[in-house]
Structure 1
Amino acid sequence: MTLPDLLKPLFIILILAGAGYYFLNYEGPARQATVQSVPCLEPLTYRIGEIDSRFGISESEVAAAMKQAASIWSEELSRPAAIESDEGNVVVKFVYDERQQVVDGEVRFRQRIESEQIRLDQFLRTYERKRREFEERSERYSRLANETLREIGELNRWVEQRSPAGGLSEQDAGRFEDRKRELERKQQEVQREKENLESLAQELNRDADRLNLMTAENNRLVDEYNNRYSGEKKFTKATYQNLPDGGAITVNTYLTKSELVLILAHELGHAFGLDHLPNSKSVMHSQMGDQELFPILQLTGEDKAAIRGVCAGAGI
């Protein structure tokens, strides 16, 4: 058995593989646009209403998200599509319920997995550094051990050649003793290096055991996350409701600020009178998941045609 054979195998499998994500929809029934909601005539006005503190978002942050959501429609129309006003016709509310509790739980679970992954990655890098050191020292040990064995063999052959009758001259005996002491020191060095390598191998094996346990725990967490949160979970993230004196956008859940902008842009579309579109990349598609959120949210050709259609229907 060579010294590298002393090391245990390291099993690192499925780390964070297959983590699931929500594909949540935002539903809204077909609705007739009012004159006030046609952005080609005049900007829709909105105001920020009640925001449940459990969302952890401020009024100014909601206002910024609404402004960004409105801007994608404004860009297409080359004029403001929606503006904030203290007397706005559409109120934007954040109502916390069990849906956001589920999302908050998912976020915390993902953060836990990411934290454990960081710890595992750091420990793995340390293990790999130690293993490289072990392999380098093992190679040096092998060279030193083989060199020492070769020199011992050469000394033995020299003795046989110099003393065919069974004895060495006084001069040769002195040379032999000097060479013997030198080789004994090298043998001691080889033995020390072997003991050091065996100690390092034991340390690496303990680290491998710990890494395998950490990996198993990470994989268990990923499996639990997938069982809880992966797949298509259909529940409404937000709604738009027409009211006698305007309308209401009610946000019930969101995962990230970028996702919130998409949700608000979608509900603004309903406030303008738009229905759902079949293209899964469209802002006005009924489900989230395929829309491009980075670097910025953009309308698809179908979104643009839909808002232009509303304007055309209003005679603009």
Structure 2
Amino acid sequence: MKRIRKWFFPALLIAVVLVGFRYRTDIVTAVTRWLTFSFCDRPITYKIDQIDPQFNITQNTLKQQLTIASDIWNIATKKTLFEYDQNGSLSINLIYDGRQRLVENINDTNNVVESQKLTFEQESQRYDRLKAELEAEVQQLNDKIDYWNRKGGAPKDEYDQLVKSQKNLQKRITELNDFTQKLNQNVEKVNQNITNLNSNVSTFNSLLKVSPEMGTYTSGVNKVEIYFYGSKEELEHVLAHEMGHSLGLGHIQEANAIMNPTASNSVKPTQDDINEVAALCENKNRLDLVANDLYNSLYTLIGRFQTVLTK
């Protein structure tokens, strides 16, 4: 029995070594997989929590726009970085505030102004055409009157026709003057709406100086909040931007980048966007991260110790 015990552990060790050598490739692969990881290995699941009804957007519509926003990153990395789950960890919320109300007023007023300007241009063209026709007919009538005056007078039939034409032209001149007044009134309406538009834009810009964020991502509670947007594309851009923050991406200064701090209607990632998310998703070594954390902790402790000694 003692002899068996004596040789048991050496034999077991030899067996382990032989098995390890036999399956060395599989073992190395398994250990390598365990040591390496990526922050993008598991998708972030998101859900829709709060939609203020004043946004006038349905949950299905928002879900579709979230799909577009998340696919910006999914397609860029060829990974599933985001996916919808009604019990997801990332909370998406639309929080209505005064800026959104101003955005809607600005858009509505701008649409009215553009419509009025188009109508005014069409009416102005009509006015110019009527005026030119009327001036030509007045000139023709004056030429006829001059002709008969040189002849010493027109026959009765011709004279009656000239009087009739003159009355008709006077009526049309009155109508054209009324039309001119109507155009002037329309100009006043357009100018008033432009004044209102400028006032809303000024108020909006003042609010932006105090609170410029269209949306925010709060890491502690893993929540995205969108406060205002001007168009469907702008909402998709802002959603993608805040979802990028939830990945760990920072701001990018490249124009029209998804991660640029200034929002736009761009829903296509720039090369800088792609480079940043690719770097984030690179494989990391667990031992390197542990060693780096230990180094940083030790460096901090030494710094504190030196501070104590110098006091």
How many aligned positions are there? Answer: 249
Relative to structure 1, the CA distance from residue 298 to residue 242 in structure 2 (aligned partners, 3 Å threshold; closer, same or farther) is same
Equivalent residue, structure 1, for 2:232: 257
Q: Which residue of structure 2 aligns with residue 172 of structure 1? A: none
State how far apart, in whole Å, the 2-side matches of 1:86 and 1:213 are. Answer: 52
What SS is found at the alignment partner of 2:235? helix
1:65 and 1:36 map into 2 onto residues whose CA distance is 30
Q: Aligned to 1:304, which of 271, 274, 284?
A: 274
Partner Cα separation in structure 2 for residue 62 and residue 194 of structure 1: 61
Equivalents in 2 of 1:236, 1:37: separation in Å?
30
1:141-290 equivalences in 2 (<5 Å): 141-153=138-150, 155-156=151-152, 180-230=155-205, 233=209, 234-243=211-220, 247-289=222-264
Give the counterpart letter for 1:187 in structure 2. L
| Distance verdict in 2 for CA 1:184–1:95, change over 3 Å | closer
Does the C-alpha gap of structure 1 residues 124 and 118 become closer, same or farther in structure 2, counting only changes over 3 Å? Answer: same
Equivalent position SS for 2:222: strand
After superposition, what is the alpha-carbon deviation per residue over 1:108-147, rounded to whole angstroms, capped at 9, x for unaligned?
2431342254245435533542442232022022113203
1:243-262 per-position Cα deviation (integer Å, ceiling 9, x unaligned): 4xx82222233332221211
| Matches of 1:71 and 1:315, distance apart in 2 | 27
In structure 1, what is the Cα distance between the partners aligned to 2:213 and 2:201?
21
Gaps of 5+ in 2: 1-35, 287-311
Corresponding position: 1:56 with 2:56: yes
Q: Tell me, yes or no, if the aligned pair for 1:282 and 1:299 is still in contact at 8 Å.
A: yes
CA shift for structure 1 position 238: 2.0
The answer on 1:38 being equivalent to 2:35 is no
1: CA distance, partners of 2:148 / 2:177: 31
Residue 81 of structure 2 is aligned to residue 84 of structure 1 = no
Distance 1:315 1:268 in 2: 25
Q: Given residue 92 of structure 1, which amino acid in structure 2 is its aligned partner?
A: I
CA shift for structure 1 position 70: 0.9
Identity %: 16
The 5 A counterparts of 1:74-113 are 74-96=74-96, 100-113=97-110
**Structure 2 CA distance for aligned equivalents of residues 136 and 278 of structure 1:** 58
Provide the rounded CA distance (Å) in 1 between the counterparts of 2:194 and 2:228: 28
Aligned CA distance change for structure 1 residues 208 and 236 (closer, same or farther; 3 Å): closer
Contact 1:74 1:80 in 2 (8 A): yes
CA deviation map 1:156-184 (0-9, x unaligned): 4xxxxxxxxxxxxxxxxxxx9xx622431
TM-score, with length taken from structure 1: 0.68
Secondary structure of the equivalent of 1:240?
A: strand
Q: 1:223 to 1:82 in 2, by over 3 A?
A: closer
> Structure 2 length as normaliser, TM-score?
0.69
Cα offset for 1:68? 0.8
CA RMSD, aligned part only? 3.0
Distance 2:37 2:61 in 1: 26
**Equivalent position SS for 1:86:** coil
Q: 1:37, 1:43 within 8 Å by CA — same for their partners in 2?
A: no
Check whether the contact 1:241–1:247 (CA below 8 A) recurs between aligned residues: yes
